[in-house]
Amino acid sequence: MARKIPSPVVTVEAEAFWNAARQGRFMLPVCAACGRAHWYPRAICPFCASDEITWRAASGKATIHTFSVMRRVKEPYAIAYVTLAEGPTMLTNIVDCDFDKLAVGQAVAVVFAATENGPPVPMFKPV
Ligand SMILES: [Zn+2]
C-alpha cells in the first residue's frame, strides 16, 4: 500500500507552480531583474528584492544535499533537501529507490506524486 500524501496548501504566490504541476510540468520562479531562480515561490525576489517574478520550466535535475530515512512508521520514507540544477534547494522526499543506497551528492530527477485530493507534489528519484 502506498503512503498517503496530504494535499499541499496552495498559496497565491505558488498558484502557477501547482497549476503547472497538475499538467506534470515542473516550474520555478525566476527573477526577471537578476535572473536567479528561487524556492519557495514568493512575490519578492530574495536576492535583489525585485517584484518582477516570472515562471520558467525547470530541468527537474537535482542532487541530494542531505537526507534522512524515517523507518519507525508503517510506510518508511526518505525526506531530503535537494539542490536543483537551477540553484535553489528544495525540501522533498526521495522515492522509488533502495533507501540503504541513498547518498549525499547523488543525482536525482523530479517525479510528481499524487496527493489525497490536491495537485501532485514534486518528489525526486535517483537517476
Ligand atoms: Zn532578483
* Cα gap 76→91, rounded to integer Å: 17
The answer to whether residue 9 scores a pLDDT higher than 70 is yes
Residue 67: count of CB within 10 angstroms of its CB:
20
Residue 12 CA, ligand 1 centroid: distance in Å: 19
Residue 33 CA, ligand 1 centroid: distance in Å: 5
Average pLDDT over residues 9-28: 96
Nearest to 4 by CA among 121, 102, 109: 121
pTM over 0.95: no
What pLDDT, on the 0 to 100 scale, is given for residue 83?
Answer: 98
pLDDT per position as a tens digit, 49-92: 999 999 999 999 999 999 999 999 999 999 999 999 999 999 99
What pLDDT, on the 0 to 100 scale, is given for residue 101?
Answer: 97
Residue 97 corresponds to which cell in the numbers above?
A: 529507490
Nearest to 9 by CA among 44, 31, 41: 41
pLDDT per position as a tens digit, 82-115: 999 999 999 999 999 999 999 999 999 999 999 9
Asked whether 29 and 9 are in contact (CB, 8 A), the reply is no
The answer to whether residue 1 scores a pLDDT higher than 60 is no
Asked whether 55 and 17 are in contact (CB, 8 A), the reply is yes
Q: What is the rounded average pLDDT for all residues in the chain?
A: 96
Residue 32 CA, ligand 1 centroid: distance in Å: 7
